[in-house]
Amino acid sequence: MPPSFRSSRRNVLGVICSITAITSLPPAMAESYRPGKTNLPRIGIIGSGQVGGTLGRLWAQAGYQVMFSSREPELLQDVVANAGANARAGDVAQAIAFGDVILLAVPYGAEPSIAEKYSKVLAGKILIDADNAYPYRDGAVAEKARSFGVAKYSAQLFPGTLFVRAFNSVNASSLTDGGGGDTEVLYSFTNDKAGEVAAQLIKATGCVPVRGHDL
């Protein structure tokens, strides 16, 4: 076989392999994994308080592009500055459009309204839910979620997303400097690829991913 033919054949096989790798990913993430682009998904954060602010900073410092969000993005200047050059701020709609992965880190009582307003644009994206349901704070929706199973209830609130439940089992204040390599983070998911991405994001915070219950 002539060398030029072998070279051409290798190039064709390489293209086929690249296309196969891309199409095996969830649709919302395929764009980020195309040849020549970074292989790290972009992260949009809904809720930039202690949980969202801490995780977003750790991911930005680990090399991920992160967008924090708020109804008043101009108030997030300190959060962005602490996270570094890979971070920026926007409103919730902008963060959702920006991210391949969306972190939901809000009081649980806000989940139904977020789902009602943004469920269509969240469809197809990996959604990591870090919220905990507290009846004393979140009212009836928290009681309903607890009786049903919080993770399963939240997954049903956001149909069409590649849903992951993670970071709700660890106190964000303990992750200020990262997990130190021995902090365990439980995670559950509805999609295997989403689970793989979540595990990598857990590791990027210096924590150890531990598989939770099936959803």
Q: What is the full per-residue pLDDT of the chain (215 aa) written as tens digits?
A: 554 434 444 443 333 333 333 333 334 344 433 333 458 999 999 999 999 999 999 999 999 999 999 989 999 999 999 999 999 999 999 999 999 999 999 999 999 999 999 999 999 999 999 999 999 999 999 999 999 999 999 999 999 999 999 999 998 888 988 888 889 999 999 999 999 999 999 999 999 999 998 87
Q: What is the pLDDT of residue 214?
A: 80
Sheet (strand 126-129) strand order: 87-90, 66-69, 43-46, 101-104, 126-129, 162-166, 183-189, 207-211
Question: Taking the domains of the chain in order of start, what are their residue ranges?
Answer: 40-211
Q: What is the pLDDT of residue 2?
A: 52
The alpha carbon dihedral of 49, 124, 194, 147 has a sign of positive
40-211 is a CATH 3.40.630.10 domain: no
Q: Report whether 191 contacts 26 (CB < 8 A).
A: yes
Q: Report whether 126 contacts 158 (CB < 8 A).
A: no
Q: What is the pLDDT of residue 177?
A: 86
Which residue's entry shows tokens 């680990």?
A: 62
| C-alpha–C-alpha distance, residues 151 and 145, integer Å | 8
pTM given for the model? 0.81
